[in-house]
Structure 1
Amino acid sequence: MPIRAVVFDFGGVLFDWNPDHLYRQLIPDAEERRRFLSEVCSPAWNLQQDAGRPIAEANAVLVAEHPQHAALIRAFYERWPETLAGLLPEGVALMERLEAAGMPLYGLTNWSAETFPYAWEHYPLLHRFRHIVVSGREKLIKPDPAIYRLLFQRMAQDLPALQPAELVFIDDSQKNADAASALGWHGIHHLDAQTTAARLHALGVDC
């Protein structure tokens, strides 16, 4: 069955997002920084904002738990643009080859509804996707099958009689790629652009 559309995750595929970019300035000691970003402003804490929790509430909860780190906690979102180091050139080149070949492109991202507007304003590349589902806006989050189904419903409005096997989903998280595969999509765990391009070629996609 020919591929009719490719869906991109953003962080780790097209965008170089990492709290380390900011906290290297705030916590010079590598081990102390690692501990803070794993035990205080942890991935699990950040994921709750991606799932729709307001930033003000997230800060209040964490500052109450770790008052000694109040300034460092608030910096996570007050200085959030500094966690976004820009685009990943090889991933962008892959996207642009697909675009040049006429492949419809969509986005499915775990991203806070309050920080996504910054990226939308500063990175015009995002405007080239036909539709983007942002987890924080929908209050659904990968790998919950419901967020994939939501995007599929919206894509089907553009692509009549769309079938799951006609979709590729590229994500730097294995569990998120696997969740797409479980729904019948072709989930690709993105490790690097060259490997992903080879997987796409194997599926008959010109890139």
Structure 2
Amino acid sequence: MNIPPPAGHQTPDQAAAPAQPAVEEALHSFWEKNRRLILMLCVVALLVVIGREGWQYVQAEREKSVQADFARAGDRTEQLATFAKANEGHTLAAIAYLRIADQRYAAGDYRQALENYNKAVTGLTNSALLGRARVGAAMSQLNAGDKTAAETSFKAIGADAALTKGIRAEATYHLASLALEAGNSAEVSRLVAEIGKIEPAGVWSQRASTLLVGKPAL
């Protein structure tokens, strides 16, 4: 015989049912109290997204323009100088200074070459290009007659582990060549051994071996 449950008693299904009206009322009350703040936060978030996308678009367009101007400059010294001045701080400006420095060095204008190599150094982050600019600056110092400054620069390059091994070996080779010119055979041997440690199988290690017999490789 089925006995009906007492009045007010909930069945298991009724007890497990969520109190939907109470939840809806709480959410509605929260919305009414905080509607203005929520809407304001949504607007701010939307503006942040729009601003970020807009900034990225502007930067991308500016980068395209800078690259186009650099390409138009080609290898013409005056145009490269104008481009570099107009885009100070940009990597391509530093590369433009490096090109100008190479041109001045090839023309035998070592003081102008040094000035532009130094400008390139301040804007380059690529270790290979940075090393080349630093070696160029040291060679410009040497050819301009400032041997002491050149030796100091070569030593700093050779000791800089952040540069490529080839650049460090080249700088040490130039130091060894200067030691050979000065007749310091002990220093030549030490530097040649140092080059072998830096880059054992590199071209500068091969050239350095000729210094031991007093014949620097050209």
> Normalized against structure 2, the TM-score is what?
0.22
Larger relative helix fraction: 2
* Larger radius of gyration between Structure 1 and Structure 2: 2
Larger relative strand fraction: 1
